[in-house]
């Protein structure tokens, strides 16, 4: 029999669950009820009703004031069914062919006679719909900026490249369209109908100039959106920046303020967040591991990228599941008119991309990349492999200095099939896969001991998506996406330590194995609905299923962790966008998620606003609450590459992460110069680390932990610890843009801290990527057929753990130091030529021209034996002066 206390507790729990469900029900109710169903009919039917009575009825229902001559109105009869949308539209319908019109004066509508030459009634509004495409390939261009200067209206094209305006009737209309990497369009059109459909075929900017050709268009590489923390970068210009073998998307993103620069290009540390706190979407599916070649390149092939949208925080309610940033990438759909083949070769890898118009409505894109270091290793590949070693802590004579000799290769592939049923409807299937193989060997020596380490690793990332995009009407758009993606990482390490005591020699073997696997299944529906001239509503739903496993062994007899779990996440969002106030754009929305592992609902309010003062200043602000339900955990005692692992939140051992964002700033524009400044503050809760006692800190091997007679594996001491964090800073971006030259300076002043009760007695500790100052200066110059570029990067040193001790109670003491300041100058020059129908680009980059001595990381581990105790320290140096050559072609 249940106790009264238990019964009361259950009733309270049910009541709480019922109350939590009420907001979700309201969102669904608002979403599905037709406009106008709250307290008013959607239409009104008249049967030989005099116009005076009809006007009174509709004004009462729609709650507006109307003034008219009742005797004159009673002379007219109306019949039929009228849609009750808004006062302007219903008055136009009722007064059609009566010789009267409505004019709004001081908040009221006046019914006045139409002069004789205007007796043929004209509508008050017209609808302008459009499509923005690539002039040569026919690709529809998403997220293009569309601006009506006279009406002061601004929007961006949909994923399908379409846009829609509803404006008062005009005889002519000026439209300005901009898209990164394309020549801007600014044209005036005659408007002769209530519905006008326009198609804009934009011409891509070439990166070279003809002998006598002069262009007024600016060479744009980075665009700071009017919204807070929203940026767009130009994929076309990637290849002209200095690179270490492969053109890289994430290296370009790292040139933005607020994104930490690292030679591990996959590590997008955005405003105090870790890389796993960013949601990276490619054609709608989530990518979970984003690097190649020991972190030198990202796994995104730039040859298949059409559009990149970057949100560094404060993002709206369309996006969820992450705390820090959003990288939303749209892949190419392929050339609709003729086949296109492009490729390239550098000192690391080769790539090939094909675009095929299979039929009038069907296009195909295929692409692949592979490194060849396992077949032939160039000097650049050798330089990237080699971690140069130097003992900078000479005061500790008992340290063992380790040099690693890794060897590896990678490959990736992309495929996309697109069926364009019409300009308003499109379906596509996108596939991605990539894998890396790594093996390494290292050794270290001191007087008392000799250590030899061998490790092998492989990791892979894969994804698939189906997208259906439909423009139902001029004012209603839907995007359905179904996706699957996954990630797998395996790591095996053997360390053999030989120690001497007198004449006796002892050899101890430490064997570890780790495996982490994550799968993601998702379905989402996004909708956009225009309400009148200056308002839109975004709403949608998402369902997601995740499963993961993590295993960490210590030899054949013991293990640290062997866990597996799965989860369901259901989300709905609603967002209202308005430009009703002149020069003011506002987004107000929210996101709500139900999570089965915790049985709770999570509410995420979002708000952003920007206000334009003349054409010179744009003020912006954004705030919001964000949740994350799966994340990476860092093992504190592990060293080496790619050792963090994914876990799913269970609201117990692994908490749900949360963050609050507060962002404010302004953009100042004057002629060819612009300055963007943003200040931010955000909190972080639910951060995790994995503490454990390594076997080499014991005076015996792991097998000695097994009690006599116990055959199965035992669990060695380990613990997941949870903590909090904060991040704050100021980001500045100063740009100059002309037709031949563009330059920008990105500066960040920031601080990121963490706090764990089990580490350093609950004191604040620096985040592993914390840098007080970071300065990045990028320049691109086009002269004839030549492209020149240069980058200067400076940052204060990031922290590293100089010494760490974990005791038997699984509390830790970390001693921190900082790496030397990072300084690097890179230069590049490319030459463009054309041989018949083949366009060829020859390029050279020089990385670290001044041969600065930089360090990527320093890590150490302590060995504790009966015969000796010593510390093994590994210094991972950055590249010295390193040239790179490449050739690419397009046919």
Choosing from 118, 142, 172, the residue where a domain stops is: 118
249 and 306 both lie in a single domain: yes
Q: Give the DSSP H/E element, type plus range, for residue 25.
A: helix 4-32
CATH no. for residue 197?
A: 2.60.40.1120
pLDDT, one tens digit per residue, over 385-414 is 664 333 333 333 445 444 444 567 889 999
Task: Report the distance separating Cα 728 and Cα 498, nearest Å.
Answer: 48
**Within-domain flag for 429:** yes
Which of 42-46, 232-236, 576-580, 875-879 shows the highest mean pLDDT?
A: 576-580
829 and 863 both lie in a single domain: yes
| Mean pLDDT for the stretch of residues 542-566 | 84
254: buried, middle or exposed (CB in 10 Å: 19+, 13-18, 0-12)? buried
CATH no. for residue 481?
A: 2.40.170.20
Q: What is the pLDDT of residue 645?
A: 86
**Whether 285 contacts 463, CB under 8 Å:** yes
**Within-domain flag for 544:** yes
**pLDDT value at 484 more than 90:** yes
Which of 380-389, 630-639, 769-778 shows the highest mean pLDDT?
A: 769-778
179 and 321 both lie in a single domain: no
Tell how far CA 745 is from the center of its chain.
22
On average, the pLDDT of the chain sits at 82
**pLDDT value at 180 more than 90:** no
With cut-offs at 50, 70 and 90, classify the pLDDT of residue 70.
confident
705 and 816 both lie in a single domain: yes
Choosing from 87, 118, 149, the residue where a domain stops is: 118
Task: Report the distance separating Cα 609 and Cα 299, nearest Å.
Answer: 34
**Within-domain flag for 628:** yes
**pLDDT value at 639 more than 80:** no
Task: Report the distance separating Cα 325 and Cα 839, nearest Å.
Answer: 36
CATH no. for residue 60?
A: 3.55.50.30
55 and 156 both lie in a single domain: no
Percent of the chain surpassing pLDDT 90: 37
Of 278-282, 518-522, 786-790, 859-863, least confident by mean pLDDT is: 859-863
Percent of the chain surpassing pLDDT 70: 81
**pLDDT value at 605 more than 50:** yes
**Within-domain flag for 207:** no
177 and 308 both lie in a single domain: no
**Within-domain flag for 18:** no
- Which of the two residues, 369 and 492, has the higher pLDDT score? 369
pLDDT, one tens digit per residue, over 707-724 is 444 445 666 778 899 999
Enclosing domain of residue 94: 43-118
**Within-domain flag for 714:** yes
Choosing from 150, 183, 202, the residue where a domain stops is: 202
**Within-domain flag for 255:** yes
| Mean pLDDT for the stretch of residues 553-564 | 74
463 and 377 both lie in a single domain: yes
**Within-domain flag for 136:** yes
Q: What is the pLDDT of residue 59?
A: 83
Gyration radius of the chain's alpha carbons: 31
473 and 620 both lie in a single domain: yes
154 and 96 both lie in a single domain: no
Tell me how many domains the chain contains: 3
400 and 380 both lie in a single domain: yes
Q: What is the pLDDT of residue 872?
A: 66
762 and 681 both lie in a single domain: yes
Lookup: tokens for 750: 């920031």
849: buried, middle or exposed (CB in 10 Å: 19+, 13-18, 0-12)? middle
Nearest Cα neighbor of 646 from 769, 767, 487, 492 is 487
- Which of the two residues, 870 and 156, has the higher pLDDT score? 156
Query: Looking up tokens 């364009």, which residue turns up?
Result: 420
- Computed from CA positions of residues 246, 248, 252, 258, in that sequence, does the dihedral angle turn out positive or negative? negative
Q: What is the pLDDT of residue 385?
A: 62
770 and 791 both lie in a single domain: yes
Q: What is the pLDDT of residue 123?
A: 64
Tell how far CA 64 is from the center of its chain.
45
Q: How far is CA 714 from CA 553, 554, 555, 559, 708, in A?
A: 10, 10, 11, 6, 12
With cut-offs at 50, 70 and 90, classify the pLDDT of residue 842.
very high
**Whether 692 contacts 645, CB under 8 Å:** no
With cut-offs at 50, 70 and 90, classify the pLDDT of residue 417.
very high
Q: What is the pLDDT of residue 642?
A: 62
pTM: 0.79
């Amino acid at each position: 029999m249940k106790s009264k206390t238990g019964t009361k507790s259950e009733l309270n729990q049910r009541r709480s669950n019922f109350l939590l469900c009420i907001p979700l029900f309201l969102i669904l109710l608002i979403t599905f009820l037709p406009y106008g169903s709250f307290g008013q009919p959607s239409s009104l039917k008249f049967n030989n009703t005099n116009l005076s009575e009809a006007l009174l009825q509709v004004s009462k229902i729609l709650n507006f004031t109307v003034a008219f001559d009742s005797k004159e109105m009673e002379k007219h009869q109306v019949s039929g069914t009228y849609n009750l949308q808004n006062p302007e539209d219903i008055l136009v319908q009722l007064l059609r062919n009566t010789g009267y019109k409505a004019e709004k004066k001081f908040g009221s509508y006046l019914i006045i006679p139409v002069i004789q030459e205007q007796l043929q009634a004209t509508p008050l509004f017209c609808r302008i719909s459009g499509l923005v495409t690539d002039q040569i390939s026919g690709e529809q261009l998403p997220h293009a900026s569309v601006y009506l200067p006279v009406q002061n209206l601004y929007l961006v094209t949909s994923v399908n490249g379409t846009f829609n305006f509803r404006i008062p009737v005009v005889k002519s209309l000026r439209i300005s369209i901009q898209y990164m990497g394309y020549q801007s369009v600014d044209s005036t059109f005659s408007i002769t109908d209530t519905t006008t459909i326009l198609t804009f075929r934009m011409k891509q900017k070439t990166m070279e100039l003809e002998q006598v050709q002069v262009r007024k268009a600016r060479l744009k590489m980075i665009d700071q959106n009017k919204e807070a923390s929203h940026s767009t970068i130009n994929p076309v210009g990637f290849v002209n920046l200095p690179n270490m073998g492969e053109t890289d998307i994430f290296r370009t993103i790292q040139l933005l303020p607020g994104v930490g620069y690292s030679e591990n290009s996959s590590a997008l540390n955005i405003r105090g967040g870790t890389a796993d706190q960013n949601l990276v979407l490619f054609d709608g599916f989530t990518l979970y591991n984003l690097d190649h070649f020991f972190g030198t390149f990202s796994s995104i092939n730039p040859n298949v990228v059409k559009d990149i949208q970057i949100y560094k925080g404060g993002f709206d309610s369309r996006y969820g599941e992450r705390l820090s940033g959003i990288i939303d990438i749209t892949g190419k759909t392929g050339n609709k008119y003729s086949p296109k083949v492009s490729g390239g070769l550098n000192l690391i890898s080769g790539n090939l991309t094909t675009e095929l118009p299979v039929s009038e409505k069907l296009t195909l894109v295929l692409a692949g990349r592979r490194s060849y270091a396992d077949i032939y290793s160039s000097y650049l590949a050798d330089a990237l492999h080699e971690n140069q070693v130097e003992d900078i802590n000479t005061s500790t004579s008992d340290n063992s200095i380790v040099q690693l000799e890794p060897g590896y290769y990678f490959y990736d592939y992309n495929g996309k099939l697109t069926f364009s049923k019409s300009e308003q409807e499109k379906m596509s299937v996108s596939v991605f896969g990539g894998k890396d193989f790594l093996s390494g060997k290292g050794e270290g020596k001191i007087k008392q001991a000799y250590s030899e380490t061998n490790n092998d690793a492989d990791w892979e990332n894969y994804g698939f998506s189906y997208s259906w995009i439909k423009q139902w009407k001029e004012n209603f758009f839907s995007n359905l996406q179904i996706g699957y993606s996954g990630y797998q990482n395996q790591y095996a390490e053997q360390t053999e330590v030989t120690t001497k005591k007198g004449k006796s020699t002892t050899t101890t073997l430490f064997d570890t194995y780790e495996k982490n696997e994550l799968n993601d299944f998702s379905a989402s529906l996004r909708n956009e609905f225009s309400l009148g001239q200056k308002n839109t509503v975004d709403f949608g739903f998402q369902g997601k299923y995740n499963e993961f496993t993590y295993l960490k062994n210590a030899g054949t007899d013991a293990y640290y962790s062997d866990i597996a779990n799965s989860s369901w996440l259901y989300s709905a969002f609603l967002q209202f966008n308005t430009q009703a106030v002149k020069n003011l754009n506002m987004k107000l929305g929210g996101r709500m998620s139900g999570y089965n592992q915790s049985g709770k609902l999570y509410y995420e309010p979002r708000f952003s606003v920007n206000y334009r003062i003349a054409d010179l200043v744009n003020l912006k602000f954004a705030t919001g609450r964000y949740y994350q339900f799966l994340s990476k955990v860092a093992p504190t005692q592990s060293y080496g590459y790619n050792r963090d692992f994914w876990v799913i939140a269970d609201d117990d051992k692994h908490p749900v992460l949360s963050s609050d964002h507060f962002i404010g700033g302004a953009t100042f524009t004057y002629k060819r110069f612009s300055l963007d400044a943003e200040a931010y503050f955000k909190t972080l809760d639910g951060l995790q680390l994995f503490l454990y006692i390594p076997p080499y800190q014991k005076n015996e091997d792991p097998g000695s932990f097994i009690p006599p007679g116990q055959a199965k594996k035992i669990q060695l001491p380990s613990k997941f610890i949870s903590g909090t964090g904060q991040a704050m800073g100021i980001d500045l971006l100063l740009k100059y843009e002309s037709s031949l030259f563009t330059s920008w300076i990105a500066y960040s002043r920031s601080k990121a801290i963490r706090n764990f009760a089990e580490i350093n007695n609950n004191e604040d500790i620096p985040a592993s990527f914390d840098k007080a100052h970071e300065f990045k200066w990028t320049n691109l110059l086009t002269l004839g057929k030549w492209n020149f570029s240069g980058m200067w990067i400076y940052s204060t040193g990031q922290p590293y753990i100089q010494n760490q001790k974990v005791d038997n109670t699984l509390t830790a003491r970390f001693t921190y130091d900082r790496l030397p300041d990072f300084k690097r100058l890179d230069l590049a020059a490319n030459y463009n030529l054309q041989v018949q129908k083949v366009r060829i680009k020859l390029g050279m980059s020089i990385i670290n021209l001044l041969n600065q001595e930089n360090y990527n990381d320093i890590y150490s581990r302590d060995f504790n034996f009966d015969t000796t105790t010593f510390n093994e320290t590994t210094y991972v140096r950055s590249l010295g002066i390193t040239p790179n050559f490449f050739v690419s072609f397009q046919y």
